[in-house]
């Protein structure tokens, strides 16, 4: 039985390890986090992902998954550790190089090292050179090194690990072929064989392309807001063009990939990435635009009301239906709202434990995993389109104001006849204005004059 050592048991490493167990490999799951390893050994997967709990139980029971804090020799090593950026937007390869150091301590001739972490162009060769210097073995001859970037969507990881096409790029052809043998054992999608540098750039280009598309959606949202229009309706209509497919705007871009990876290209190719840099700046600025709108609505509320404005903030993770808060724009917005002295905020986040969320924000006593306090809020701010929120009847709260920054309330228009959709009158972004409770009751009463 071939042995695989997966370094890093997080959102990518753990599911990869579990898929490899199903493919009949013996998997050493290595992580430097003692608590994480202990929880995994106690059948706690740590991360939220469909099927992960059951798969972990089966893998541990089979004896083919061994979580450990001690590195072990293996036929294949998969490095799946974070690659954040530093304050100056430079790639932080310390996690990757620390993993390489661990591998170097046990690496033997004939073994293959695969980097799945997203890395700048040239980093795979850098790791290969480091391993060669540390071990005295020849990279590409005695041992093999390749880059095979992950391409999975949180919430559907196990399916995509198997079904998606994969790009495998080695430091030389024999390294590419060596890595191919591992992925051929469990990937049903096509395998595209190339060089390490090409694989590195492809991954970065994929995520940067999404970032640019999202930036355009955010620009559309800003323009529509200025014109008093509903950006989601504008985009829905624009997408009726057969060759247009705009994305939906949100409160910003987060996560471990799209908010980070474009900077790796900007760092490596500063003269050729003006568009990527502009897109990053637009998306980084989006939370500030959202905060400005929230601030404006709060000030409007105080024109008609007294007391403390109570704000319900829906969602804190970086995207819908995950528990991941890395680079989360929603969390950034929430922290700022909590710094305002004239509001009473409440966070509703079904995917995070209350104590964990409170520790991220630095306050206590005002976090909730459900919408139990919904009726007490004066202002509802929708930041993340969790599926759980779609069941909440926001439109029934006529005396409240709901601000939708994630398209949660937008429903695509249905045909009113065989070939007709009714978009008249157009929805307006500022359709519902703040009024006092007394004025709202008066406006809804036939007796008012």
Catalogue the active-site residues: 203, 257
Report in angstroms the alpha-carbon separations of 293 from 80, 282, 287, 296, 329: 39, 16, 10, 5, 15
How would you classify the pairing of strands 415-417 and 420-421? Answer: antiparallel
Report in angstroms the alpha-carbon separations of 224 from 133, 279, 285, 294, 402: 57, 18, 17, 16, 17
* E strands present in 274-355: 309-314, 343-348
- The residue with tokens 């504008």 is 234
Report in angstroms the alpha-carbon separations of 147 from 161, 183, 290: 15, 12, 38
Q: Which of 105, 63, 100 is nearest to 80 (CA)?
A: 100
CB atoms within 10 A of CB 58: 14
Cα–Cα distance measured from residue 27 to residue 65, given in angstroms and rounded to the nearest whole number: 5
Q: In what order do the strands lie in the sheet with 309-314?
A: 367-368, 343-348, 309-314, 379-382, 401-404
- Virtual CA dihedral for 226, 228, 234, 236, nearest 10 degrees? 120
């Amino acid at each position: 039985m071939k042995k695989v050592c997966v370094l890093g048991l997080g959102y990518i490493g753990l599911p990869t390890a579990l898929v490899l167990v199903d493919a009949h490999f013996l998997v050493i799951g290595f992580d430097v986090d003692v608590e994480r390893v202990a929880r995994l050994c106690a059948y706690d997967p740590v991360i939220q992902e469909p099927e992960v709990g059951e798969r972990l139980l089966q893998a541990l029971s089979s004896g083919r998954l061994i979580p450990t804090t001690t590195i072990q020799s293996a036929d294949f090593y998969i490095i799946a550790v974070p690659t954040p950026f530093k304050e100056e937007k430079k790639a932080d390869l310390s996690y990757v190089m620390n993993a390489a150091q661990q591998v170097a301590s046990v690496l033997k001739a004939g073994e293959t090292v695969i980097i799945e972490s997203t890395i700048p162009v040239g980093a795979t060769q850098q790791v290969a050179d480091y391993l060669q210097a540390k071990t005295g073995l020849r990279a590409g001859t005695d041992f093999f090194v390749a880059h095979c970037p992950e391409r999975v969507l949180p919430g559907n990881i196990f399916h995509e690990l198997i079904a998606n096409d994969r790009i495998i790029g080695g430091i030389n052809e024999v390294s590419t072929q060596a890595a191919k043998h591992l992925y051929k054992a469990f990937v049903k999608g096509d395998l595209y064989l190339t060089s390490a540098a090409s694989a590195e750039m492809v991954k970065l280009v994929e995520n940067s392309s999404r970032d640019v598309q999202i930036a355009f959606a955010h620009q559309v949202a800003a323009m529509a807001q200025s014109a008093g229009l509903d950006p989601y309706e504008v985009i829905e209509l624009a997408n009726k063009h057969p060759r247009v497919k705009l994305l939906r705007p949100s409160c910003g871009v987060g996560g471990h990939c799209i908010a980070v990876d474009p900077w790796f290209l900007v760092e490596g190719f500063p003269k050729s990435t003006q568009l990527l840099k502009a897109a990053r700046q637009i998306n980084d600025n989006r939370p500030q635009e959202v905060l400005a709108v929230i601030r404006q609505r709060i000030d409007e509320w105080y024109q008609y009301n007294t007391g403390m404005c109570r704000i319900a903030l829906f969602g804190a993770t970086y995207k819908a239906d995950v528990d991941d808060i890395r680079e989360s724009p929603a969390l950034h917005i929430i922290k700022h709202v909590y710094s305002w002295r004239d509001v009473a905020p409440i966070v509703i986040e079904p995917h995070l434990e209350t104590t964990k969320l409170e520790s991220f924000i630095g306050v206590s006593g005002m976090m909730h995993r459900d919408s139990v306090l919904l009726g007490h809020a004066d202002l509802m701010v929708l930041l993340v389109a969790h599926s759980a929120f779609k069941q909440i009847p926001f439109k029934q709260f006529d005396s409240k104001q709901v601000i939708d920054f994630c398209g949660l309330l937008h429903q695509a228009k249905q045909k009113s006849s065989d070939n007709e959709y009714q978009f008249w009158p157009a929805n307006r972004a500022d359709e519902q204005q703040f009024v006092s409770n007394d004025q709202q009751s008066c406006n809804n009463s036939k007796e008012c004059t």
